[in-house]
Structure 1
């Protein structure tokens, strides 16, 4: 009986360790991201859509300069929209 419990405990410990290692590998595989302002379509921002808005999905116009979305790190300023390129900081309203 003791051998069975020991084997079960060892098996459980190995399973938990494998799950933890798998979760860490999945996190490492995700690309780094950064906030990119002025590239989201209306209602598709991740957060920060200016005064009077609560957060995600609240931008009121396409490419709103003070609304951001997460993009792969290093790509923001290369994203071209009809209103110009993406920005790492909020854009001033024109």
Structure 2
């Protein structure tokens, strides 16, 4: 096999992996308020942490977990807009 064929095959493989990842991401949504402590998927709304696995409490409104699109509400979770509104109301009640 010549170098051009190897490079072409490698590029085709990389592109197909990217297409699969994009399709998988499109079938997921961020669901706030359902992640267990240490099981969130990334940074939270409040900005108190910026990485996966750093949530301190179960079901914190500002932490999210990726779930199958269309299942968040069934799981008792919230969209980002809903979570922000609930957090704002909580802050007002405390303030």
* TM-score bin (small chain): 0.5 to 0.7
User: Does the 8 Å contact 1:40/1:62 carry over to 2?
Assistant: yes
Matched with 2:61 is: 65
**CA offset at residue 16 of structure 1?**
3.5
**CA offset at residue 37 of structure 1?**
0.6
Instruction: Say which structure is richer in helix.
Output: 2
Matched with 1:87 is: 78
TM-score by length of 2: 0.63
Give the structure with higher Rg (CA): 1
Matched with 1:3 is: none
Matched residue pairs, number? 82
TM-score by length of 1: 0.63
Q: After superposition, give the CA deviation of every residue in 1:42-89 in whole Å (9 maximum; x if it has no partner).
A: 1211220635x222222221111111111111111111xxxxx10013
Matched with 1:11 is: 5
Distance 2:18 2:36 in 1: 33
Which sections of structure 1, spanning at least 5 residues, go unmatched? 1-6, 80-84
**SS of match in other structure, 2:39:** coil
1:45 pairs with 40, 43, 47, which one?
40
Calculate the aligned-residue CA RMSD, in Å.
2.7
Instruction: Say which structure is richer in strand.
Output: 1
